[in-house]
Chain A
Amino acid sequence: MSAFIGKYADELIKTAKYIATPGKGILAADESTGTIGKRLASINVENIESNRQALREMLFTAPGALPFLSGVILFEETLYQKTADGKPFVDLLLENSVIPGIKVDKGTIEIAGTNGETTTQGLDSLGARCQQYYNAGARFAKWRAVLKIGPCEPSELSIVQNAQGLARYALICQENGLVPIVEPEILTDGSHDIAKCAAVTEKVLAAVYKALNDHHVLLEGTLLKPNMVTPGSDSPKVSPEVIAEYTVTALRRTVPPAVPGIVFLSGGQSEEEATLNLNAMNKLEVLKPWTLSFSFGRALQQSTIKKWVGKKENVEAAQATFLVRCKANSEATLGKYAGGNTDAAASESLYVKGYKY
């Protein structure tokens, strides 16, 4: 029953610790081809490989941005892509001390017999895929499980299913040299209050850690990517301080100190909201034995993409915008963000009901 100590144990612990470095965080750039298509469509850019490559190159070469990142999650296609000059993205990132990660799940499907609850696919031949990704330079992985809040949700079945899936994924990753980011996202959809979200988050995280422990996952070689604890999307908003207290309380009740870092997802929060909430959590005067950082997709890229609109002449300005968000979130991990970004796009809510990746 002890944790699985395979040949990669030391490396996993080192990598996880590095990713959790205070002042740094993760850029989630692992949108699948379908999902990135939606982003590109929103700025009237065609969803072809060269455009996807151009977007990612713009982000990875943004001057001054990479020092604020400890990792970038990639989609499979991107893992094997290069810059326009022919340098593999993986090499570019590693040269700048940014660890490449890889999305390894194969999306969610509905669990028959439930009220639209889902489980995540991707365990078949996961081991072999992880090995390939490791050889290609990836050192961490990500798998997104999704739960929702409703009158009878999340059901015991969905909690157990998703927790088991995460645990199996995590162990297989560790067997093959990848630090698993464990992501049990509880969607904000609904009219529930923050207390309800907290109760559900605590229940789900308790089940997740039980499953990880039962599966012998080495906690020191993992990271957690949870939702922040917030009111439902249809409920009145609350201040970052309230979100911080509920979130940190929930984490203190469920996440053992062996876990080196917690990297929040942004869900549908606006760029600024996500940063302010993260900042409030790090300002909280209470003992947090893990670092609290970010693993943001939309909340890092939204205004950057809007500025770019696919045009080469906008790249510099877009990269400057990207740098602003990276720096802001880096400060937030240290509780030092002063706030006050005046960009309208930064305050735009990114919430989409029933959001599907």
Chain B
Amino acid sequence: MCKCMSVCCLFVFSEDQILLSDCASSLAVQAYLRMCNLPVHVSCRSNAEYMSPSGKVPFVHVGNQVVSELGPIVQFTKAKGHSLSDGLDDVQRAEMKAYMELVNNMLLTAELYIQWCDDTTATEISRPRYSSPYSWPLNQILAYQKQWEVRRKMNAIGWAGKSLEQVYEDVSQCCQALSQRLGTQPYFFNKQPTELDALVFGHLFTILTTRLTSDELGEKIKSYSNLLAFCRRIEQSYFEDSQAGSSSRGYSKGPSLF
């Protein structure tokens, strides 16, 4: 019998500080927790990254345990008896994990690339936002350090040589794959949402509602109408009941899909 979990506290960056990739990950975790009907309280901290056990936001604090990132959070809630993917057979579970890796591999990496490896975006948006809570000279040091870290990672996985056009093309192909997999179904695995739906929603919604230096990324996604309908459906089902200043609106820096 699943014991009712004590309220979990989700830690993210504050609204002025948060960037596209972190926002997407946070929204994915929130969507997942809402889909599991678990009460969640969102707490904004500027040092959330340093509090997290893995160095990545978001992370949840429940009782005396701290778990970060969607994968471990899903396993943690499963251990407590709340799971969305129990009804899937082995082949479907394999597909679900594969598609989650596709989103992480393509969409998340593309978001990081656009934020930190594209000079215009890095100078105008990413560095100022990331270092906003700190004073000089710490803000310069931290911002450049983060940029250097991300560029090293891009180098290691072979994305450093890509141009922005190629990255947009990769995102488009990824969205095409997701769109074809979704088809006309309400969720990826027919009637019930799973963690894959939460992850895809988090990334797509954030990209659609964030203003960057260019709108091309959002336009790529808008060309797939079933993905738009999917995002709208999840927003209406799981985020509509929040008050004004709700968590979903709190992260959108542009108009919401509603």
Q: Do A and B bind each other?
A: no
Which A residues are within 8 Å of any B CB, using their own CB? none
